[in-house]
Amino acid sequence: MKKFLSLSLFVMLALFLAACGNDDSSGDDTTDGDETSGEWEPEQSIEIVAPAGAGGGWDTTARMAAQVFQEEGIISEDIGVVNKPGGGGAVGWAYIANQEGSNHNLFVSSSPILLVPLSGQSEYGHEDFTPIANVIADYGAFAVNADAPWEDLNELFEDMKEDPSSITVVGTSSPGSMDHIQFVRFAKAAGVDITKIKYVSAPDADGITQILNGSADVYSTGVAEVVEQAKAGNIRVLAVTSEERLDGDTLSDFPTAKEQGIDEVFINWRGFFGPPGMDQAAVDYYEAKFKELSDSDAFAEIRANYGWDEMYMGSEEYKQFLDEEKESLESILEELNLLGE
């Protein structure tokens, strides 16, 4: 009888403990559900890498995004912007590649992440990273000294058709990268032999100096880089690469190539990536935050100040866009015999 009572008490105690255990686990399940349902949030400060020096397009985009994230309360964790210049972006990309699996490292990029690897100057390309969101469309500009003989883009290209190598085109990026390729695309559309174009690189951002002192003839660059000198009357902007004229003081004075009969457009898209192996929940979080950034009045004001257009793409759309852009750029580099091995 005593054995029976002891056994009964043991069974009742076990059932009681099991019930308590189930109550506790139901509370834990709720927490686990939050963690695994994709509702991820950063647990430490976020680092955004600009793979270039201070003051350029990547740096400005990263710093303006970080500023709006913080000032508008879109992201509460601290955000730091770090410059990693070198190799046309390759140094910064190598740094991010070494942060594999991190959910707290981002970087900004644009066409060079397609062009530099294609030309064999980086072992890392867009496929090696996690596309998160594109946020803006920027545009290129072709400028000459105010005393140059060309009043518009057609006059320049007519001279280049006769002797392409007699005219020196300067850009900040290396041969086969963005400033070079954006000019080549328009020259090709106008009928210039692009294999004979003389392009020189001014990596220390002294392209404008070369135009002013006469050591180069045409400056291929971003729109923001020519505004002040154009406003001062030192240079003449022959064309911008946008579909339509840009809004804003001075910017609206710059003609497009399209209105001059050259059927070409070049968009310097600019967006953000994470390291390889970033968690999908983190990708979802940042994608939503960049959409909130893009839709904000604060960032709209920044776009207007810099002559940028809104061009938001989420992660999947961005990846597809990058794959298609790479194919298009690859054919141009092949024609120029600049494809890397």
117-161 pLDDT per residue, tens: 999 999 999 999 999 999 999 999 999 999 999 999 999 999 999
List where CATH 3.40.190.10 sits in the chain: 139-267
**Cα–Cα distance for residue pair 337/303, rounded to 1 Å:** 36
Strands (E), 11-73: 46-50
Q: Which CATH number fits domain 46-137+269-335: 3.40.190.150, 3.30.70.580, 1.10.1500.10, 3.40.50.740?
A: 3.40.190.150
**Cβ contact 77:45 at 8 Å:** yes
List where CATH 3.40.190.150 sits in the chain: 46-137+269-335
Joined together, the tokens standing for residue 236 give 């003449």
Q: Which CATH number fits domain 139-267: 3.40.50.880, 3.40.190.10, 3.40.50.12780, 3.60.21.10?
A: 3.40.190.10
**Cα–Cα distance for residue pair 270/62, rounded to 1 Å:** 10
pLDDT in tens, the chain (341 residues): 444 434 344 434 444 444 444 444 333 333 333 333 458 999 999 999 999 999 888 999 999 999 999 999 999 999 999 999 999 899 999 999 999 999 999 999 999 999 999 999 999 999 999 999 999 999 999 999 999 999 999 999 999 999 999 999 999 888 999 999 999 999 999 999 999 999 999 877 688 999 999 999 999 999 988 999 999 999 999 999 999 999 888 999 999 999 999 999 999 999 999 999 999 999 999 999 999 999 999 999 999 888 899 999 999 999 999 999 999 999 999 999 999 87
Q: What is the rounded end-to-end Cα distance, in angstroms, of the chain?
A: 88
**Cα–Cα distance for residue pair 117/98, rounded to 1 Å:** 17
**Cα–Cα distance for residue pair 160/197, rounded to 1 Å:** 8
Crossing angle for the helix pair 297-306 and 57-71, to the nearest 10 degrees: 160
**Cα–Cα distance for residue pair 239/252, rounded to 1 Å:** 11
Positive or negative, the Cα torsion across 94, 57, 261, 237?
negative
Residue type, 205: A
Q: Is 90 helix (H, G, I), strand (E, B) or coil?
A: helix
Global pTM reads 0.82
